Amino acid sequence: KKERVRKRKKERKKEKEKERVCKIGRMEVDVRNNLEYPGGAYDIYIPQNANEIPRLVIYIHGGLWMDKDKKDYAHIGTSFAKVGFACAVVNYPLSSKDNTIRHPLHTRCVGHAVECILSRGEEDGYAVEEVVLVGHSCGAHIMGLLLFCGEYLGEKYRERFSHLICLQGIFSTIRFAEEKPEWEEYVAVSMTADKSKWESPTDYPAVQGKANRKWLLFHSLEDEWVDSKQAIAFEAHLRKYFESVATNTAVKGGHNEVVEELGVTQAG
């Protein structure tokens, strides 16, 4: 009898999960690829049968400023769109030993992308207030500079963000190179060989803006590349300027696995 009850509960749980997935799956998604901005391109995923104008999420990928592509994160754009958010996934120029792309070009180009995306809200059908910005690894570094250094993004655009979500973030390149010396040569390719010119969000006080915007830092303790000390130190820095800051180290997975498994529930 107990076994029958247990099986019945398990079946009901599966049925409820199927219902939830079906509800999510009913949201049709309009995918627009390779929309250009000065310096690169982005893809955007827009829900088509939402009851209201969808809010916007902008995702900045990681890859140590040298790797990855927006197409690798189609699952993120689709996941957000299926629960009612428009989601833009941004590409930016990548550094290598064979080119001259170096910091701050990555951050400057993402700033141009954000300005372009926010200027197209009415045309493309999404809201450009209460915007969510998400960055993984060096993408979190880029978003930190966008919000902390006034050089890369104008105030009227910075004011649009309500939630900033950082995944396995690199917030200090100097600290990262000290903690992981095997990665220093790669950081030097993306930044410059001169460490005195390395720039990070922790180098700056916050530029004027919404003190009530929410910062959420997710950092798996299973990360094999970026130490959780990065998130802890950045949280302390953020608390000097913002009222709502939280760090979650309960997420599971390696550095890239956190993003590979990313769904809307995990992100926020």
DSSP 198-217: ---GGGSPPPSS-TT-EEEE
Q: Which value, to the nearest 10 degrees, does the dihedral of the CA atoms of residues 189, 191, 197, 199 take?
A: -150
Q: What is the C-alpha separation between 268 and 20, in angstroms, rounded?
A: 17
Contacts of 220 (CB under 8 A, 6+ apart): 168, 249, 251, 252, 253, 254, 255, 257, 258
Q: 222 in helix, strand or coil?
A: coil
pTM, 2 dp: 0.88
Q: What is the pLDDT along the chain (268 residues), one digit of tens a residue?
A: 556 666 666 666 555 444 443 344 567 899 999 999 999 999 999 998 878 999 999 999 999 999 999 999 999 999 999 999 999 999 999 999 999 999 999 999 999 999 999 999 999 999 999 999 999 999 999 999 999 988 999 989 999 999 999 999 999 999 999 999 999 999 999 999 999 999 999 999 876 555 678 999 999 999 999 999 999 999 999 999 898 999 999 999 999 999 887 654 434 4
In eight-state DSSP terms, residue 100 is: -
Token duo for residue 133: 């910005």
8 A C-beta contact, residue 59 and residue 88: yes
